[in-house]
Amino acid sequence: MKIPEKYIKEIVGPNCNFDERIIQAFLNCPRDRFVDEAFHRVAFEDNALPIGYGQTISKPSTVAYMTHLLNPSEDDKVLEIGTGSGFQCGILSYLSAFVYTVERIPQLSYKASLTLKRLHRKNIKFKVDNGHIGWKEYAPYNKIIVTASGDSIPEDLLNQLAIGGRMVIPVKDRIKIIEKDDNGIKTIDGDNCRFVEFVK
């Protein structure tokens, strides 16, 4: 299915400040590849769609916005918490050196890995585990992104964020940008949001 021009011009672009790198990543990761065939017709609309097991693929505007806030660079090592469909992970794989992604539901992790393999993504490592504890083996990470909403920021994730790093995480109904430097942690409020619950 051809990616509609409206999808890029009216949904993705305005939510990533028309960042050409992010737009190209969205073009390289067609959203219809990450949802069941029954939803292909609406895959390029700005809606969250079910992917099974009580989970959803986030709205493309939200993925574009969170990617823009994260601001990954081609040298970054990124940790993603909540693989889900693999869509956000696929986008990040075009914008960073390597992505480590953790998902608590084995079936979703496996399905996402197959989808991304078909898109020839080789700079991604998958793990099935409790996302609250991150992935200590490969820490620290330059960037961390969490795709589910919780009541607080897990301490383990803060500890795994590199000095000079950035985390984007939904807390309750607001996206938070966390920056870490030698002096400690700084938190910036982003937009309001709605995400699935960050379950242990």
Q: What are the pLDDT digits (tens) for 92-116?
A: 999 999 999 999 999 999 999 999 9
Helices 20-28 & 60-70 angle (0-180, nearest 10) = 130
In a domain, 199, yes or no: no
Q: Is 58 designated active site?
A: yes
In a domain, 175, yes or no: yes
Judge if pTM exceeds 0.85.
yes
- Choosing from 58, 109, 113, 149, which is the catalytic residue? 58
CB 141 within 8 A of CB 168: no
Residue that is written with structure tokens 């590849």 in the block: 33
Q: What are the pLDDT digits (tens) for 139-176?
A: 999 999 998 877 889 999 999 999 999 999 998 888 99
In a domain, 198, yes or no: no
Task: State how many domains the chain has.
Answer: 1
In a domain, 87, yes or no: yes
In a domain, 144, yes or no: yes
- Domain CATH code at residue 106: 3.40.50.150
In a domain, 74, yes or no: yes
